[in-house]
Structure 1
Amino acid sequence: MKLPIIISTIAVALLFFGCSTSETSTAEIHNRSVNIHPEGAVSDDNNYYRSLADYLKKVPGINISGSENNQIVTVRGISSFNSGIEPLFVIDGVVVGSNYSQASNMLNVQDIDYVRVLKGADAGLYGVRGGNGVVLIVTR
């Protein structure tokens, strides 16, 4: 009488542990294959941008003005009284500065994974340099 109860208990336990293990494995594989970007980040898989300015034109909150050789990038709603009007550019965690042409020359637009714009208190991490906003660029 005890043997069928023990066998059924073991069978239920194996079934329970087997299902939860395979579900976890599937979830881990799914998370590794999907690119997860921070909230507010803009990414695109199309590789048709010729310059960083072309890519930044689709990012909400960024204005681009000027000609090809002399472009000015500004973050909407942000202005600083004691510095220029361009935001701080950060590429893969390295502060590049507020010069758009220098940031553009440092990377290939095809290598961009996503771009995120920081304004206000979020840009406070970079202190006074982030007073005009911060453009975070992460490459693949």
Structure 2
Amino acid sequence: MPGKPEVLFVCVHNAGRSQMAAALLDHYAEGRVMVRSAGSAPADTVNPAVVQVMREIGLDLSREFPKPLTTEAVQAADVVITMGCGDACPVFPGKRYLDWELDDPAGKSVDDVRPIRDEIGRRVRALLAELLPAGS
């Protein structure tokens, strides 16, 4: 990937998993990766339990909002990571697609969302190590 890699996280409502993944990758990448998130059927607001568990680790999602998935966002991305959006995500040749099977935080308590956040964090750090190998 020449230049700054671009990653798009997609879930159905863009209110939980994809918001956490985008915030975590943006945080860990420290500006070295362009990060976006979107939903195939965006909700009205980000899940309050998600906002709370992210605040616990110093990341503020209170001003974030669910965004619709667009063809342009997929075309701009080098890596598209889906999290339960099914067939709603358009597929373009030359893109790297990953599907992360993760529990949906919708309707879950803060205690139940923390392990989802932590698993997303683990996967995001592994992705970052692939995108920006040490010494690059």
TM range (shorter): under 0.3
Normalized per residue, the structure richer in strand is: 1
Per chain length, whose mean CA-contact separation is higher, i.e. which structure has more relative contact order (CA < 8 Å, sep 6+)? Answer: 2
Name the TM-score, length of structure 1 as normaliser: 0.24
Over alpha carbons, which structure has the higher Rg?
A: 1
